[in-house]
Amino acid sequence: MKVKRLWTYPLLFGIIGALLGLILRYAYTGSFSGFPFKNVLHSHSHVMLLGFIFNALLITVWSTFVIEIDKATYWLFLILQLCVAIFLVAFILQGYAFYSILFSTIHLWVSYILLIRLWRKLDSNNKQQNLIKLGIVFHFLSSIGPYMLGPLMAMEMQNSPWYQQAIFFYLHFQYFGVFLTWMLAVLFHKAKIKLNKTQLLVLTVSLGFLFAHSLDFSFNHWPIQLFGSLGSLGLFGLLLSFVKQFSTLKHNYKFLYLGVLIIAFLNVLGSVPAIADLAVESRFILIAWLHLIFLGIYTPFIWLSLPKKVHPIIWFCYGLVLFTSEIGLLFPKFINNWTTVPIMWFLFFSYLGIFLCICLVHIATMLYLRKTNVIIKM
C-alpha cells in the first residue's frame, strides 16, 4: 500500500478543522446569536488534533522510515477516518454526549491496535526508531486522562480541578508526547542524530515533568514549579546540544529546528510563576501558545513532509498572517490603540489568511496526488 494515497485524509480534515476555527473566530465578533460555541470548539479541536495532525504525523513516520502498510493496517487507518468524520458532526450537534463519546472511544481503541502493529514493524536495532516507540508509549499513557472523566462524572466532580486536569493530561501527552517525539524522530533521522540511552531518558523524563505546567492552571505549589522547571530545562538543554548537527540541514529544517528551540525556551520562561500566571489568567495568551505550537511548528513540519513542495510565496504569506494573529492575541490593547479595526475582527481577518493558506496548500497537494495516481494507473 502506497503511503501517498493516505495523505488525502489529513489534508481534507485539516481544511475542515481550519474552517471550523474560522467560524469560531467569526462567532467571537458577536455576529451570531445562539451559536453553539462549545460544541463547535470541541469539534474543531478534535478534528485538528486527531484528523489532521495525528494522521499526518503517522503518515510521515510511515513514509520516512519506509514502514510497510499491510491491508489490515490500511483498514484500521480507514476506520480511524470514519470515526473522525462521525464525531466531527456529533460534537457539533450534541457536544459531549453519547455518539461523540462513543466514536471518540472507538477511535482510541482502534488506534491502540494500529500502533501496536506499527511497533511490531519497527527495527529494534534502529535507535532513531526508539522515538517512535516512545511516542506510542505516550499515546497509551495519554489515554488515562479520558478514562478518568467517567469516574469523575460519577462522583459529581465535573467542576473540580481534577476534571480539567484529566483533559490536560491527555492533551499534554499528545502534543508534548506523541506529536513531538514523532516529529523529532523524523528530524533526527534527517540530521543523522542517534540518541543514546541517557539522552532518551532525559527526553522522556523532561516531557513527563512538563505536565507540571498544566497543573499550574489548577494548583499553586512550589513542587509543581520545580518539576516544570526541571522538565523545561532538560528539554531545552537536550535540543540545544544538537545545534551542530542541524546546521548541516536545508534551510527549511533549520528554521523548524529553531522553532522547536523557541518552544522549548518558552517552556523555560513558563516555569517563572509571574509568566505562568499570564497564561492562566489570559485566554488570549493560552490560545496564542497553542496556535504557536500547532500552527507554527506542527503544521509547517507536516507541509515539509508533503509529496508536493509548498511555494515560497505561500510560506511567506502564511508566516505573515500567523505572526499577525499572534501579535493580536498577545497585544490586543496595542491593536486597539493603533488600528480602527476591533480586535475580534482583526483576529478574524488574520485567521482568514491562515485558512486560505491551508486551503491552497492542501487542495494543491490533493490535486497533485490525484494527478500522479492517474498517471500511475495509465
pLDDT of the residue at 205: 96
* pTM recorded for the entire structure: 0.93
CA 131 from chain centre, in angstroms, equals 17
Q: Is the CB of residue 221 less than 8 Å from the CB of residue 243?
A: no
pLDDT per residue as tens, the chain (378 positions): 567 789 999 999 999 999 999 999 999 888 777 889 899 999 999 999 999 999 999 999 999 987 888 899 999 999 999 999 999 999 999 988 889 989 999 999 999 999 999 999 998 778 789 999 999 999 999 999 989 888 888 887 877 888 888 888 999 999 999 999 999 999 999 988 989 999 999 999 999 999 988 887 777 777 888 898 999 999 999 999 999 888 887 778 888 999 999 999 999 998 888 787 787 788 899 899 999 999 999 999 999 999 999 999 999 999 999 999 999 999 998 888 888 889 999 999 999 999 999 999 999 999 999 887 644 332
* One-letter amino acid of 57: L
pLDDT of the residue at 224: 81
Helical ranges in 241-342 per DSSP H:
243-246, 251-269, 273-281, 283-293, 299-305, 312-330, 332-338
Q: Is the CB of residue 242 less than 8 Å from the CB of residue 280?
A: no
pLDDT of the residue at 1: 55
Q: How far apart are CA 203 and CA 215, in angstroms?
A: 20
Q: Is the CB of residue 209 less than 8 Å from the CB of residue 231?
A: yes
Burial class from Cβ neighbours inside 10 Å (0-12, 13-18, 19+) for residue 306 reads: buried
Residues for the chain: how many in total?
Answer: 378
Q: Is the CB of residue 52 less than 8 Å from the CB of residue 14?
A: yes
Burial class from Cβ neighbours inside 10 Å (0-12, 13-18, 19+) for residue 146 reads: middle
Measuring CA to CA, how many Å separate 284 from each of 45, 277, 337, 343? 16, 13, 17, 11
Q: Tell me, what DSSP letter sits at residue 220?
A: -
What residue segments make up the domains of the chain, in order of their start? 306-378
pLDDT of the residue at 378: 29
Q: How far apart are CA 297 and CA 259, in angstroms?
A: 6
pLDDT of the residue at 198: 94
